[in-house]
Amino acid sequence: MTKRISLTQYLIEQQRLHGHIPSQLRLLIEVVARACKRISISVNKGALGDVLGTAGSENVQGEVQKKLDIIANEVLIEANEWGGALAAMASEEMEGIYVVPNRYPQGEYLLLFDPLDGSSNIDVNVSIGTIFSVLKKPDGSAGVSEDDFLQPGSQQAAAGYCVYGPQTTLVLTVGDGVAMFTLDREQGSWVLTADDVQIPADTKEFAINMSNMRHWAPPVKHYIDECLAGKTGPRGKDFNMRWIASMVADVHRILTRGGVFMYPWDQREPEKAGKLRLMYEANPMSFLVEQAGGASTNGRQRILDLQPTKLHERVSVVLGSKNEVDRITQYHLDAKT
Ligand SMILES: O=P(O)(O)OC[C@H]1O[C@](O)(COP(=O)(O)O)[C@@H](O)[C@@H]1O
Ligand SMILES: [Mg+2]
Ligand SMILES: [Mg+2]
């Protein structure tokens, strides 16, 4: 029988043998994983747990909050605030940062999360998830402020997501490749089920919300037109399309079998760079994708190099199989628009 490696064992190995993670970061990741387990239990209860439907409130982005958005946010805050590893947290569902109250031990890390990604899929029983990003509080800064969070994604100490699908899977990077852990519900533990995950450089599968086609910029339209032309077109191969409308689930497919994911800028709201949020959606996913050998840009620049200017900043996203992302980025650079 093959040896089962738990998340704890994996993290201890990363800490001891490879020197990648300090003990405070290891504890932080374990607490996030425990919170995801609790969120997974709520997700699974569905209508039986009265967790479906809207909460009757809006978040800072003007989006209607679902009950599970709020539940997941609370679970993550409660689990992490007394863990001792954090100075503050930030979330899609909270306007400002949440400073760890001084009755709890203060740590040196900052945690950002999208507590429930894919909210439109909650009530229809389609895969949803939690995305998280870990930064280190800048050295020497007294107290903690929103500015401390505004670091490029290349500074992330760890990132990951949990997908609540047919299986509950936690996907993690601490900057040394990507590992996947499946929740064993009977044992209540995370078991390592894939290590050194690699995204193939080429693909025949794209993910984009095609209903927005008439609003896209020309380089995006150019790329998708070529894919749709199939075998007899310039690409010389047929492409398949998938769009789950949960970034977590779409990225999970790409980490598992390759593909390219795009949520580009479009003309509906030209003043917005994109729909997705830089700091707790695009940055953690870009870190994971790059660690798995893929690429991630905003059409022009590497996402991990972008300097954030505000907590809830939005960004255009192109990520996945490297050769495809390079091609789409080149189309944007050639168009100079
Ligand atoms: O409904 P659309 O426009 O296709 O957007 C889908 C995208 O929106 C999101 O659901 C946004 O995330 P939230 O549910 O956290 O707001 C992404 O997960 C997904 O890729
Ligand atoms: Mg989201
Ligand atoms: Mg969300």
Is the pTM here over 0.90, yes or no?
A: yes
Q: Where are the domains of the chain?
A: 7-194, 205-335
Contact criterion met (CB below 8 Å) for 134 and 87: no
Please tell me the distance between residue 118's alpha carbon and the centre of ligand 2 in angstroms. Answer: 6
For residue range 104-148, what is the model confidence (pLDDT) as tens digits?
Answer: 999 999 999 999 999 999 999 999 999 999 999 998 777 899 999
Most informative mutation of 269, 276, 285, 312 for ligand 1 (most atoms within 8 A of CB): 276
Please tell me the distance between residue 247's alpha carbon and the centre of ligand 1 in angstroms. Answer: 6
Q: Which pLDDT score, from 0 to 100, does residue 17 have?
A: 80
Q: Domain 7-194, what fold?
A: Fructose-1,6-Bisphosphatase; Chain A, domain 1 (3.30.540)
- Strands of the sheet with 205-207, listed across from one edge: 240-241, 205-207, 260-263, 317-320, 295-297
CA-to-CA dists, residue 259 to 90, 195, 208, 256, 291, angstroms: 30, 19, 11, 9, 15
Index of the ligand 1 atom closest to the CA of residue 250: 20
Give 25: exposed, middle or buried? Use CB within 10 Å, 0-12, 13-18, 19+. buried
The helix (run of H) or strand (run of E) holding residue 115 is strand 109-117
Q: Which pLDDT score, from 0 to 100, does residue 337 have?
A: 52
Complex ipTM more than 0.90, yes or no = yes
Architecture of domain 205-335: 3-Layer(aba) Sandwich (3.40)
Which residue type occupies 18? H
For residue range 249-297, what is the model confidence (pLDDT) as tens digits?
Answer: 999 999 999 999 999 999 999 999 999 999 999 999 999 999 999 999 9
Residue 117, marked binder? yes
Contact criterion met (CB below 8 Å) for 71 and 51: yes
Written as six digits, the tokens of 107 are: 């740590």
Q: What is the mean pLDDT of the chain?
A: 95
Residue 216 β-bridge partners:
266
Burial pattern 80-119, b for ≥16 Cβ within 10 A else e, equals bbebebbbbbbbbbbeebbebeeeeebbbbbbbbbbbbbb
Question: What percentage of the chain exceeds 90 in pLDDT?
Answer: 87
CA-to-CA dists, residue 90 to 9, 56, 148, angstroms: 28, 22, 11
Q: Which of 24, 19, 93, 100 is nearest to 62 (CA)?
A: 93
Please tell me the distance between residue 276's alpha carbon and the centre of ligand 2 in angstroms. Answer: 7
Written as six digits, the tokens of 251 are: 């990225």
The helix (run of H) or strand (run of E) holding residue 260 is strand 260-263
Residue 92, marked binder? yes
DSSP state of 281: I
Say if residue 204's pLDDT is above 60: yes
